[in-house]
Structure 1
Amino acid sequence: MSDQEPSESAKRAFGIQLKELRRDAHLSGVELAQRCGWHKTKVSKIEHGTQSPTEEDIRKWATACAVEGQTPELIAMSREIEQMWTDYKRWHRPGMKRLQFQAMDLYAKTKLVRVYESLFVPGFLQTVEYAKAQFTIHAELHGLPLDDVEKAAQNRMVRKRFLGTGAPIFSFLLEASALTNNTGGAQVMNGQLDHLLEVSRLPYVSIGIIPQGRPRSLYPGEGFYLFDESLLKQEFWSGAFQTSRPENTSYFVRVFAALRDQAVFGTAARNEIEAARGRLQGA
């Protein structure tokens, strides 16, 4: 996992877009700074994504480049970039147990949820024991109260009421390695694999496993949740990322399709789950 926040690339891309507007207006960086009443280094910092422009900065930039008509679109892009990344301190401010309820309305209005995980079993498919083990690791990593672990795990189970109803439909893709990353010990993992077998038979739920050793047309990557084709969410050790930009969501639709082509389903997927159980027992 990269140490760089995922939103940093969006900031750089936005800076490049502003730079192109300046060049199209045949202005040097110094000339633009003079027109806006700024120090000459400010233009360079904004264009390289090391300084985020304020909305007033964007208005001045658009006016100086004679593209005032693009101001609302540019401001909307800037606002979304600022909301893309939430560091873990701000993300966990409500507490682990309350975070489990934050996306309930989103799930309720989504028709199709696509989920890919390469490292662990997704929250919707977890047993309460597995969730407790995962939250314990998370709490210790981020210095969060261990007293919240039990309630957070119980609250996570509330989400599972959506499974099997068709509102929404769920499509899960897991790397086989996610089934053998031992979270909570042998007993917890054994129960978790049993639960995966049960859920795989629910209506409106698809669970695909990408077998170990299978020739890859697309390498494993960071896990993600895709809500219809309108919102992407990812969680990292250091925070959470989301975007609704069409170019990003459409890209991950293609990524999910490519990963799905490598997965097995039905009986073959259940065989992969049992194979993971065998690997864990032999470890």
Structure 2
Amino acid sequence: MEVPGPRALRPLPGVRRRVTLDPQRAGDDRQRLARALRDLRKASGLSGERLARRCNMSQSKISRIENGRALPSVVDVERVLLALSVDAATRDELLNLARVANTEFRDIRASVRRGLHHRQRELAALEGTATHMRYFLPSLVTGLLQTPEYMRAAMDMPIEPAKGDTTRAVALKLERQRVLHDPSKRFEFLLTEQAVTWRLCAPPVMALQLDRLVSLSRLPNVRIGVVPTTRDLGVGPMNTFTLYDRHLVTVETFTGQIVLRDPKDIAHHVSLFAYFSDRSLWGNESRSFLLAASREFMRPRE
């Protein structure tokens, strides 16, 4: 049985006409997407094997997608819908649903309730599986680079909803830093001048933190760059984000973290990192900048 023409498949009742981005409901959207793709395939008369051939995918991948065990990328969904010749309205609706399903929001309030140390284990797992990590840091030094004193100041925020027991989290964060010495992994940390000079701690602690950045930048698998305010930039440094290879990007906000898996979102952040990287100081220039900032923190105040 051949696939019906585009007009033969109508939008499914289980899929909303308008999809709004609500990251906390991404799990439900993932299951709705799986059911919709499975129902569309069955309505077309195609077997999973024939659909897999048309999409140039394995049959097992099609099965995992339809059962909700594998999250398809937006590109995967687009390939399936093209193979099924769905109508334009259904196509747009399911692609929007796929974008929502590929977005996850981790609420900082939930992290505090669970215990901040769980977050450190999640990060350690991401760092353990990735081989090339890129960190864009417009406001603060990130955990892998922090001294214990800076770390405690960064985690012990005096405002809600971020307040929580940080003792175990600090210990696990320090343990995570061992990954920097794994020669099979590459790290690139790009800080703005604001992140370097933002006085989160007392000046001596800030000076020690910058000295640590200089020291870590000499590791063969670690690059630390600085975006100085003197550079002409056409893009503002809006968010902290981390790229794990080309598979996942996390974006930090005041109230939580957004996890993006859509290849288009990842490619956009790769381009952003490259844009700022090309306009930054690296190597000896970066180290000279950091040492000068450290000396400024140590300069006696009147």
Q: TM-score range by the shorter chain?
A: 0.7 to 0.9
Matches within 5 A, 1:1-283: 25=7, 36=13, 43-44=16-17, 46-47=18-19, 55=31, 59=35, 76=71, 78=97, 81-82=100-101, 84-137=104-157, 140-142=159-161, 144-145=163-164, 148-280=165-297
CA contact (8 A) 2:111 2:118 kept: no
Q: What is the CA deviation profile of residues 201-237 of structure 1, one whole-angstrom value per residue up to 9, with x for unaligned ones?
A: 1110000111122111433221111011111012211
Cα shift at 1:89: 2.0
Question: TM-score, with normalisation over the residues of structure 2?
Answer: 0.69
Question: What one-letter code is carried by the residue in structure 2 that aligns with 1:116?
Answer: F
CA contact (8 A) 2:193 2:226 kept: yes
Question: What one-letter code is carried by the residue in structure 2 that aligns with 1:177?
Answer: Q
In structure 2, what is the Cα distance between the partners aligned to 1:161 and 1:130? 17
Question: What one-letter code is carried by the residue in structure 2 that aligns with 1:118?
Answer: P
CA contact (8 A) 1:193 1:277 kept: yes
In structure 2, the CA distance between the partners of 1:57 and 1:123, relative to structure 1 (3 Å rule), is closer
Number of aligned residue pairs: give it. Answer: 247
Cα shift at 1:141: 2.7
CA contact (8 A) 1:124 1:160 kept: yes
Cα shift at 1:166: 2.1
CA contact (8 A) 1:180 1:279 kept: no
In structure 2, what is the Cα distance between the partners aligned to 1:189 and 1:143? 22
In structure 2, what is the Cα distance between the partners aligned to 1:118 and 1:143? 19
In structure 1, what is the Cα distance between the partners aligned to 2:33 and 2:184? 43
Question: What one-letter code is carried by the residue in structure 2 that aligns with 1:245?
Answer: D
In structure 1, what is the Cα distance between the partners aligned to 2:32 and 2:45? 12
In structure 1, what is the Cα distance between the partners aligned to 2:114 and 2:45? 40
Question: What one-letter code is carried by the residue in structure 2 that aligns with 1:92?
Answer: V
SS at match of 1:113: strand
CA contact (8 A) 2:116 2:166 kept: yes
In structure 2, the CA distance between the partners of 1:115 and 1:48, relative to structure 1 (3 Å rule), is closer
Cα shift at 1:273: 1.0
Structure 2, unaligned runs of 5 or more: 1-5, 52-61, 73-96
CA contact (8 A) 1:176 1:276 kept: no
In structure 1, what is the Cα distance between the partners aligned to 2:178 and 2:44? 50
CA contact (8 A) 1:173 1:207 kept: yes
In structure 2, what is the Cα distance between the partners aligned to 1:266 and 1:48? 44
In structure 1, what is the Cα distance between the partners aligned to 2:116 and 2:16? 40
In structure 2, the CA distance between the partners of 1:247 and 1:190, relative to structure 1 (3 Å rule), is same
In structure 2, what is the Cα distance between the partners aligned to 1:168 and 1:57? 35
Q: What is the CA deviation profile of residues 105-142 of structure 1, one whole-angstrom value per residue up to 9, with x for unaligned ones?
A: 321221100111000001111001001001111x6331
In structure 2, the CA distance between the partners of 1:56 and 1:99, relative to structure 1 (3 Å rule), is closer
SS at match of 1:197: helix
SS at match of 2:273: helix
Identity %: 25
Q: Which moved more, 1:106-115 or 1:53-62?
A: 53-62
Indicate the residue corresponding to 2:83 in structure 1: none
SS at match of 1:103: helix
In structure 2, what is the Cα distance between the partners aligned to 1:132 and 1:238? 19
Question: What one-letter code is carried by the residue in structure 2 that aligns with 1:264?
Answer: L
Structure 1, unaligned runs of 5 or more: 1-23
